[in-house]
Amino acid sequence: MAAGGRAAFDVAVVGGGPAGMMAAIAAAERGARVVLLERLPDLGRKLRATGGGRCNLTNTRDRNVFLAAFGAKRRFVRPAIAAFDGEALRAFLVRRGVPTESPDGVHVFPASGRARSVADALEALLAERGVRVCAGTAVTRIETADGCVRGVGAAAEGWEARAVVLAGGGPSCPDLGGTDAGFGLAAALGHRLVPPVPALAGIAVAEAWVGECAGIVLPEVEIAVAAPGGARRRGQMLFTHRGLSGPAALDLSGDVAAALRGRGAVPLAVDLTPGTSRAAWERRCEEWREMAGRKRVRTLLGAVLPRALAERLAAAAGLDRDAACAHLPRARRARLADLIAALPLTAVGTDGFEKAMATRGGVALEDVAARTLASRVVRGLFFAGEVLDIDGPCGGYNLQWAFASGRLAGVAAARSSASGGVPSP
Could you read off the pLDDT tens digit of each residue along the chain, which spans 425 residues?
A: 555 568 999 999 999 999 999 999 999 999 999 999 999 999 999 999 988 889 999 999 999 999 999 999 999 999 999 999 999 999 999 999 999 999 999 999 999 999 999 999 999 999 999 999 999 999 999 999 999 999 999 988 899 999 999 999 999 999 999 999 999 999 999 999 999 999 999 999 999 999 999 999 999 999 999 988 899 999 999 999 999 999 999 999 999 999 999 888 999 999 999 989 999 988 988 888 777 667 888 888 888 899 999 889 988 988 887 788 777 788 888 898 999 999 999 999 999 999 999 999 999 999 999 999 999 999 999 999 999 999 999 999 999 999 999 999 999 999 999 987 554 44
For 156, phi then psi, to 5°, come to -90, -5
Whether 370 contacts 81, CB under 8 Å = no
Paired residues of 8 in beta bridges: 160
Q: How far apart are CA 58 and CA 253, in angstroms?
A: 21
**CA nearest 261: which of 207, 196, 184?**
196
Bridge partners (DSSP) listed for residue 166: 14, 383
Residue 223 phi, psi (nearest 5): -105, 135
Let me know: does 220 contact 274? Beta carbons within 8 Å.
yes
Report the distance separating Cα 391 and Cα 196, nearest Å: 11
Give yes or no for a contact between 342 and 271, defined as CB atoms under 8 angstroms apart. yes
> What integer pLDDT is reported at residue 322 of this predicted model?
79
Neighbours of 31 (CB within 10 A): 11
- Residue 419 has what pLDDT? 84
d(CA 165, CA 6) in angstroms, rounded, equals 19
Q: Which pLDDT does position 325 carry in this prediction? A: 77
Q: Where are the beta strands (DSSP E) in 182-231?
A: 193-199, 203-205, 217-225
3-state secondary structure of 316: helix
Phi, psi of 106 (to 5 degrees): -125, -60
